[in-house]
Amino acid sequence: MPDRGGGPSGPRMRVGRPSRRARTLLMTLGVLAVLAMAFIMFAGFWTDWLWFRSVHYSTVFTTTLWTKVGLFAVFGLIMAGAVGFNIWLAHRLRPPLSAMSMEQQSLDRYRMSIAPFKKWLLLGIAVLVGLIAGASAAGQWKTWLMYVNGVPFGQQDPQFHLDVSFYTFDLPWYRFLLGFGFAAAVLSLIAAAIVHYLYGGLRVTSPGARATAAATGHLSVLLGLFVSLKAVAYWLDRYGLAVKSSDFKAADNWTGLRYVDANAYLPAKTILFCIAAICAALFFATLWRRTWQLPVIGFGLMVLSAILIGGLYPAIVQKFQVQPNEQAKESPYVEKNIKATRDAYGIAGSEVKDYAGVPAAGTDKAKLRQAADTTASVRLLDPNIVSPAFQQLQQVKGYYAFPSTLAVDRYNGQDTVIGLRELNIGGIPKNNWINDHFKYTHGYGVVAAKGTTAGDQGAPDFTQSDLPSKGMFGTDFEQRIYYGEQTKQYSIVGGPQKELDYSDDKGEKETSYQGDSGVNLDNPVNRAAYALAFSEPQILYSGAIGEGSRILYNRTPKERVEAVAPWLTIDGAPYPAVVDGRIVWIVDAYTTTNGYPYASRTTLGDSTADSLTNSQRAVVAQENQVNYIRNSVKATVDAYDGKVNLFQWDTNDPVLKTWMKAFPGTVKEKSEISKDLMAHLRYPQDLFKVQRELLTRYHVTDPQTFLSGSEAWAVPDDPTTKGTAVPPYYLSMKMPGQPEKDQVFSLTTTFTPNERDNLSAFMAVNADPGTPDYGKIRILKMPTSKPVDGPKQVQSKFNSEPKIAESIRLLRGGDSEVEYGNLLAVPLDGGMLYVEPVYVRSAGLKYPLLRKVLVTYGGQTAFEDTLDKALGVVFGAETATPPTTPTTPNQPPGDGTTKPPGSQDPTVKAALADASKAFDDADKAMKAGDWTAYGKAQADLSAALKRAVEAENKLAAQPKPGG
């Protein structure tokens, strides 16, 4: 503005508006921010796609993605359209302007404030509810895929005579649609009511009619839709009774109809359906009658009927008909529940036989001694205790580690304890980004030991050991372990940075990954995406990454199988095996559902917990409640290249068939399982634990006995660990009545009566898939009239036996610790043979050694150095050894507390001198932690002692003077 005072005009000032350069900078920053956010979102999507493509399961990614996108789009648009349309319709049906009441005058300012933004507000509300509804629908992708791909079970429920697939595949989808419909109706009703009120269609305090005819008709239709959906809900609730859980003293998590459901709730739901349908029709009729009098009366009657018919009447039936004669009323429904539960959990074929539990009088003890050897290969090496021995004797380097619980397998007919020498990131000498992710990338070698015998001084009797590993598997197999249970960090391999392979006497060996696993990082876009995904900017610019570099992640067997088959429930204990010249992880996987009619539910986390799951291994699907489970898939993960194979195991499982239709080509046929792999498959522990939990009640098939609870069992606590269930044990054995003549690899457990410690039953399942009887569950039921000692009682008697207690006291001498191994039970000639290895961890050693074996049979107990000696004592073939101070309680295998006795023969003296030197060398090597030198000293010691013994034998064989 010019200066009105007549002076020279000054320069014009631009106030409040940024310069062009500033505007350009702000726009640039805004665009960059949007691009950065877009790339962050893209990075997650892109890295997922690259990973699925690298494992050759890209169809799983695309099928899942497009299913989620489709559900998001369809249901998001439906919800947005429904709410948006009703808002628009309510606005269009607003009454014309008229004399303003005080109520409308107070609302006028709100109408004026939103008037310029009505279209944007409508669009924003529609988009918001659409996004929320779409995201909710996308989470139902499994429900949708099961619905559209469901195959029939070929079994019908006993109440409605519908195929089980209706409850497992169809009903969940119908319930989702119903819930979505309720949400759409309620949101539309609320939105329409607000608009009608804002524009005068509804009045709260104004005199005259409370609603215009248009508003009355519009809201009546929405209320009619809501009540119609309620009628549909009542109808579906009738079928929902077949999969409804309820509290019932006969069983936890009872599922299915009981007497009150079939005779009160079911007819009540039908009546309420009819009332709701009539009420909905009254609301729709308001379009013509323009009054809410009848619909409101009808709605009130529906609510009253729901209280009286749906709540009070069933309570009266339960109180006055069921409770006075519960067993007679409930028996037909309990029978249905028993049958459905046994079918759903695969325990219908369980064979229950009476078993004496005590040996028959007058049995030939010599025959019993012989039978003890042929009935079972008793596993003395406890995989839950000997891991420290593997660690100390076979770790070799601090950056290797074995799992705390080793695996039990069988090789060449021998029960074997096996573990992999995996990478231990915490043991790397110096942790930095290059060492953690480029240099130390993999473990090396497999270590195995005989399960039924121990080596020198109680150490594991290794059949495969050392680094590189050698033994019964030979050396001609890929020993590098890039994928394992302990391998949880990412590694970048195959590029310019060399990896540490392993170390030996000649120094460190280097290698470069030659597998095709992982995602290629040659592309800068990939590097940028992974730099974001792992929050590690060095991936973007590090010189250690170059041509051929690949990033490996999702490296545990459980993670990989879960990722490529998200519809499977994974067993908590993958185990390694050497198969066809490769180290592979074998992973058992389950198909489950929560919708099997009449089958009682179980929580997988509770059913599979035992004394080992607290700290040593995972619990399967902690919170999952299911009432149907099958071990339908056997999966393998290659320890070198991470390749995942899924094999169809249960060819009759309709749930698996449904998922195979949804994801064609992801699961291979059972016939593609190689012979070598088949030899190492086994019956899974977690399935067995779920089944044993159900069999504590469902071994009973008579409804009256089931209801009384007199035959209910319990899984006993681990006798050496308070308050936790005893784990099941693998061992090769013969069960009474078993068709196979030879021992069969089996999984076993025991049962006790509720609140008591004596033995009520012994259960075993054929765990060897190479036999025709695989999966057969056999239960030996003990008599109730003559109690048989259970695991806790056996352990208590063992601890209280004076001679044994004295031996234990001596074993604990010198601050040594005594550890009890797995208490194995074996049925033998009418009685129960209990065997428990006893380990000693001396103050000078970091690992336990097998020192004693406890054997109990028929009231006779032995506590000896070897199983053979203990069996001989129990069956009268040998005399018991009196308690004596152990000769080598605190020394590693091969050591002694005294040096060998002297001799005057020069050859013997020389051999003993060599033995003495080797003994001293072994002691020094053990203290220094040099296990290579220790092993050499042990070999020298053994050779020297052998020479001394041979020389002594020659002297003894020579004729004596005057002889």
Residue where the block lists tokens 């305090």: 205
**Residue 928: what pLDDT?**
58
- Dist. CA 784–CA 758, nearest whole Å: 10
891: Cβ contacts below 8 Å, ≥ 6 apart: 457, 842, 844, 897
Average pLDDT in the 750-779 region? Answer: 93
Distance of alpha carbon 253 from alpha carbon 797, whole angstroms: 37
What is the per-residue pLDDT for 910?
A: 73
pLDDT score of 165 more than 90: yes
Per-residue pLDDT at 26 exceeds 60: yes
The answer to whether the beta carbons of residues 570 and 501 sit under 8 Å apart is no
Looking at per-residue pLDDT, the higher value among 565 and 737 belongs to 565
What is the phi/psi pair of residue 302, to 5°?
-65, -45
The overall average pLDDT reported for the chain is 86
Q: Is the pLDDT of residue 250 over 90?
A: no
Tell which residue, 416, 417, 436, 420, has the closest CA to residue 428: 436
Average pLDDT rounded to a whole number, residues 595-622: 77
In the block, residue with structure tokens 């001694």: 369
Q: For a pLDDT cut of 90, what percent of the chain falls above it?
A: 52
pLDDT at 623: 60
How many CB atoms are located within 10 Å of the residue 204 CB? 7
The pLDDT of residue 85 is 95
Residues 6+ apart with CB under 8 A from 541: none
pLDDT at residue number 327: 87
State the average pLDDT over residues 699-711: 90
Tell me how crowded residue 331 is: count the other CB atoms within 10 A of its CB: 16
Q: What is the pLDDT of residue 208?
A: 53
Q: Identify whether 468 is preceded by a cis peptide bond (ω within 30 of 0).
A: yes
DSSP notation for 110-144: HHHHHGGGHHHHHHHHHHHHHHHHHHHHHTTHHHH
Confidence of residue 824 (pLDDT cuts 50, 70, 90): very high
pLDDT at 887 over 60: no
Q: How far apart are CA 234 and CA 351, in angstroms?
A: 42
For the segment 389-411, the average pLDDT, to the nearest whole number, is: 89
DSSP 8-class letter at 783 = P
Residue 322 DSSP SS3: helix
| pLDDT score at 299 | 83
Work out the average pLDDT over 652-681. 95
Q: Which is nearest to 872 in space by CA: 369, 375, 377?
A: 369
Question: Above 60 in pLDDT, residue 558?
Answer: yes
Q: Which of 184-188, 363-367, 686-690, 725-729 has the lowest mean pLDDT?
A: 363-367
Averaged over 847-853, what is the pLDDT? 90
pLDDT classification of 591: cutoffs 50, 70, 90: very high
| Per-residue pLDDT at 90 exceeds 60 | yes
Give how far Cα 309 sits from Cα of 222, 231, 275, 865, Å. 26, 15, 11, 73
User: What pLDDT band is residue 655 in, cutting at 50, 70 and 90?
Assistant: very high
- For residue 837, list its beta bridge partners: 853
Between 384 and 79, the higher pLDDT residue: 79
User: Cα(688)–Cα(345) distance, rounded to whole angstroms?
Assistant: 10
pLDDT value of residue 103: 59
CA 634, 640, 643, 648: dihedral to nearest 10 degrees? -10
Q: What is each CA distance from 959 to 948, 951, 952, 962, in whole angstroms?
A: 19, 15, 13, 8
- Give the pLDDT of residue 13: 43
In 10 A of CB 249, how many CB atoms? Answer: 9
- Alpha carbon distance 828, 855 (integer Å): 13
Using the predicted structure, report yes or no on whether residue 879 has a pLDDT greater than 80.
no
The tokens describing 623, both together, are 């919170």
* pLDDT at residue 483 in the model: 96
Q: What is the pLDDT of residues 492-518, one digit of tens each?
A: 999 899 999 988 777 888 999 998 899
Torsions phi, psi for 792 (to 5 deg): -65, -40
932 vs 453, residue with greater confidence = 453
Beta bridge partners of 245: 255
* Residues 233, 270 contacting (CB under 8 angstroms): no
Confidence of residue 919 (pLDDT cuts 50, 70, 90): low
Rounded mean pLDDT, 73-101: 86
364/357 Cα distance (integer angstroms): 17
Amino acid at 239: Y
pLDDT band at 15 (very low <50, low <70, confident <90, very high): very low
For 268-307, how does the pLDDT look when each residue is reduced to its tens digit (9 = 90+)? Answer: 999 999 999 999 999 888 877 767 777 788 888 888 888 8
pLDDT at res. 897: 35
| pTM, entire model | 0.85
Phi and psi at residue 788, to the nearest 5°:
-110, 140
Pair type for strands 777-781 and 351-354: parallel
Look at residue 963 in the predicted model and tell me its pLDDT: 37
> How much is the average pLDDT of 252-263?
89
Residue 56: pLDDT over 80 = yes
Q: Is 282 helix (H, G, I), strand (E, B) or coil?
A: helix
- Report the SS3 class of residue 224: helix
Query: What is the distance between the alpha carbons of residues 669 and 646, in angstroms, rounded to a whole number?
Result: 9
User: Does position 956 have pLDDT exceeding 70, yes or no?
Assistant: no
Whether residue 741 has pLDDT greater than 80: yes
SS3 510: strand
pLDDT of residue 527: 93
| Angstrom distance (rounded) from CA 416 to CA 398 | 25
Task: Name the pLDDT band for 10 (thresholds 50, 70, 90).
Answer: very low
Per the CB < 8 A criterion, the answer to whether 852 and 834 are in contact is: no
- Indicate the pLDDT class of residue 577, thresholds 50, 70 and 90: very high
Query: Residue 929's closest CA among 816, 843, 846?
Result: 846
In percent, the amount of the chain with pLDDT more than 70 equals 86
Query: What is the 3 state secondary structure string of 647-710?
Result: EECCCCCHHHHHHHHHCCCCCECHHHCCHHHHCCCCCCHHHHHHHHHHHHHHCCCCHHHHHHCC
Cα first-last separation, the chain: 144
Mean pLDDT comparison of 245-254, 290-299, 656-665, 803-812, highest-scoring range: 656-665
In this prediction, residue 16 carries a pLDDT of 53
Torsion region of 929: left, alpha or beta (phi above 0 gives left; psi -120 to 50 gives alpha): left
Per the document, the length of the chain is: 963
- Tens of pLDDT, residues 308-359: 888 899 899 988 898 888 889 989 999 999 999 999 999 999 999 999 988 8
* HSE-up of residue 606 (Cα within 13 Å, Cβ side): 11
Note the pLDDT of residue 912.
Answer: 67
Helix (H, G, I), strand (E, B) or coil at 863: strand
Find out whether 421 and 481 touch, Cβ atoms under 8 Å: yes
What is the structure's pLDDT at 9? 45
Residue 901 region by backbone torsions, left for phi larger than 0, else alpha for psi between -120 and 50, else beta: beta
* Top-confidence residue, 449 or 876: 449
Contact by Cβ (8 Å): 686, 588: yes
Q: Which residues of 690-847 form beta strands (DSSP E)?
A: 713-714, 729-733, 744-753, 761-766, 777-781, 817-820, 824-828, 831-841
Instruction: Work out the number of other CB atoms within 10 angstroms of the CB of residue 538.
Output: 14
Q: How far apart are CA 283 and CA 124, in angstroms?
A: 30
Confidence of residue 14 (pLDDT cuts 50, 70, 90): very low
Largest CA distance in the chain: 155
In the predicted model, what is the mean pLDDT of residues 692-714? 92
Token pair belonging to 397: 């380097």
Inter-CA distances, 276 with 160, 230, 314, Å:
22, 7, 19
Determine what percent of the chain falls in helix, strand and coil, rounding each to the nearest 5.
45, 20, 35
pLDDT at 209: 61
Question: What is the model's pLDDT at position 223?
Answer: 93
Separation between Cα atoms, residue 859 and residue 358, nearest integer Å: 9
**Tokens (6 digits) for 892:** 């590693």
- Contact between 581 and 676 under an 8 Å Cβ cutoff? The reply is no
